[in-house]
Structure 1
Amino acid sequence: MSLIAAAPPLVRTTPPSDPAPLGTVSAGPWWPPIDLAALRDAMRLDATVTPQRLLPAVQEAVATTIGLLSAWAQCRQDESRASLADVPALQVDGESIHVQRFRRAVYCHAKANLVERYSDYDTTGRERRKDQDAARDDQAEQYRRDATLAVRDILGVSRLHVELI
């Protein structure tokens, strides 16, 4: 008796700690720069997300986050704060919680963007099921929710959201 098993080829990806230094995305001196390698590691992005795909997603995430915080940031700049790190806030591990939350918002916006953009393939070679699209959309919305909560925490407004049905 013999058995021949055919399976899709194994896909080997580079571990997150392995990629070459990717650089940073900066939006000027007031905002903290975003380290692309740190984002890749924190959000568990493997080598299937190439630097050429990661960079535009992070640039858009930075622009979106700064857009949500622009009026608040302008008020802080009018108070002569030289950077986001200079705005009085709780320090956790020696870093302003505002900087940490800004980073979290950017990371989550970028991951949501990537989750949506990578909805067109499956590395296992299996046919996509309808429920996979719904799960992927759900995951992207969860990342957006986390980004919104981080922004609302910086703004100092309530996290509560109520919808009338």
Structure 2
Amino acid sequence: MTCAYDFTATDIDGHERALSEFAGQVLLVVNVASRCGFTPQYAGLERLWRERRNRGFAVLGFPCDQFGQQEPGDEATIRDFCALNYGVTFPMFAKVEVNGPGAHPLWSWLKRERRGLLGTGRIKWNFTKFLVGRDGRVLARYAPRERPEALTSAIDRALAAAS
């Protein structure tokens, strides 16, 4: 695989989706969880999506239960939680693993493309974020503590590039 658009993933409703449908867009790919200290970031992610989606931006949420069992529900429970508590309308996908032998191929690729602090590839916690440019290449990786609002300048620069 050479870019983010080469992958497929199952969406939160159980449908296989080719990420090529987002080709040419700037993406923020995030592993999310409903019972995490960072869960309130859903509000900021939704705000980024609503304010920039018409400019070619998408947030892609991938629920993950690998960190302290902070995403214990099934996909219907996750979808309902996100909609009811944070008004989430950005694309959400089925629960995935982001580390280990069962890691979703997209996440294995993201980690190879952009290592974390001190060169680690492993995802450390929920709400790790990857910014992907219009060409499908990883531009940046952000730690869970980086709030969505702090990424606006980087996102806007990516949107302005080759638009």
Q: Which has the higher helix share?
A: 1
Q: Which has the higher strand share?
A: 2
TM-score, scaled relative to structure 1: 0.26
TM-score, scaled relative to structure 2: 0.27
Max Rg structure: 1
The structure whose RCO (Cα within 8 Å, separation 6+) is larger is 2
